[in-house]
Structure 1
Amino acid sequence: MEAVTVGNTMKFKITSEFGAKESFRNNPHTGIDINFPNGTELQSIADGVVENVVYNHDSIGNAVFVKFSDDTTGIYAHMSSISVEKGQLIQKGDLLGLSGNTGNVVGQNGGYHLHFALKDGSTGEYINPTHYADDLISMTNKDMGIGEKLLQGYNDFADKVIESEVNFILKPIGEAIANGTNELLTMFTLYLPDMFMIVTVLTGLLICLGIKLPKTLTFYTFGLVGAVAWLANANS
């Protein structure tokens, strides 16, 4: 997926949008991913209270849940370290911890990023948190260095090359194989009656002439016809 730059900052990008359905997900994305390097300071986007703190969760790794004053809950996931405790009152801009790659992560640069999700307090459903991306990015304590920018540029280029290869090379090959297989099965289905008739006539003729067919040849012949019949039935 192409990274999306938000707002007026070019420091970091959204690499996976809310509701995204990438191949590695079982369900649509419940938040947004921002490509923060390891150790980026993560600050609260609003006043609130730390509703929960989890460590080493199979999916989100180390994470902080903050209940904001508007009754929504912000979830900061995959953190390398956490600086707050459950029940702690916090204000906008307070440090929650550092970004990392704990839990189940995929992607570039070792999977380091922030997964930020937002839950509605009344319904418990995930809502689109993209409008907070500018705040999340502008509050960080570091800009992307020249080395990180070069690496990011290379990774973006590599993703485009791989995507192009899949679209222009592998996809047509796969479609050609699938179409060829379907055409072959269609041909077998079309000529199956003729094949049965020819085999039956030849077998009867040879028997009338007193010619004994080798058992192996007979088995192979009727085995082939049986296989063709099965394929034709499977394709119908």
Structure 2
Amino acid sequence: MRRARVVYQGAIHDVTPLDGKLRLASGRLINEEAVQWLPPFEPQTAFALGLNYADHASELAFNAPTEPLVFLKGPNTFVGHNGATERPDDVTFMHYECELAVVIGKVARNVKKEEAYEYIAGYTITNDYAFRDYLENYYRPNLRVKNRDYCTPIGPWFVDAEDIPDPMNLTLRTYVNGEVTQEGTTANMIFGIPELIEYLSSFMTLSVGDVILTGTPKGTVNVAVGDEVVTEIEGLGSLKNTITRELKSE
């Protein structure tokens, strides 16, 4: 099942897709253009993976890591489908990152990888923008690289885990202004979903609503103000985002 969260006529609604429209809980059908899209669930702790695809590490001239490179993202970073992400005026290199997001569905502690899928509620798409000018070390990206406001579009749909039989074999693509610029498959992750859940839960408790952003394949290129960026993952849909100029406080 696919579902999303939207704002319609001043209220937040849970919706499902039907015949190219959105179906409210009341059964009423509305056009997608009539709503503001929110993240499809309320993210709790967000874990992001660095260099989790060998081809991406290679294009950045880094060796593949021998242990997951994990950093945290705050709730301020998320924005829904059709949202905007600001490009700071002083940045010379800002790039998208199409990523499969794994949403935890029940409390997990010391989970073995063979049982990891039992703890997943579902999946969605993220576009985890990076502001490379601020990068000091790929192994430890600082806050300005990955924790700026609205730098991580997420959605549009939350797709139940049971509807994605093999999340480790999904095609990912990114389009910039309609042109394919990135293509890969989740099969090329260095650390797969079961291994990531086992690793994280070995030293901390994962809670309902926690989300793991599993990394991106090669093909990340610079984007500019005005660009429309669409990230899509097989079985999950397409997530659209627009790059806007940074608004300065008066």
Short-chain TM bin: under 0.3
Greater Rg by CA: 1
Flag the structure with more relative contact order, 1 or 2, with Cα contacts below 8 A and sequence separation at least 6. 2
Q: TM-score, normalised by structure 1?
A: 0.20
Q: When you count strand as a share of all residues, which structure comes out higher?
A: 2
Q: When you count helix as a share of all residues, which structure comes out higher?
A: 1
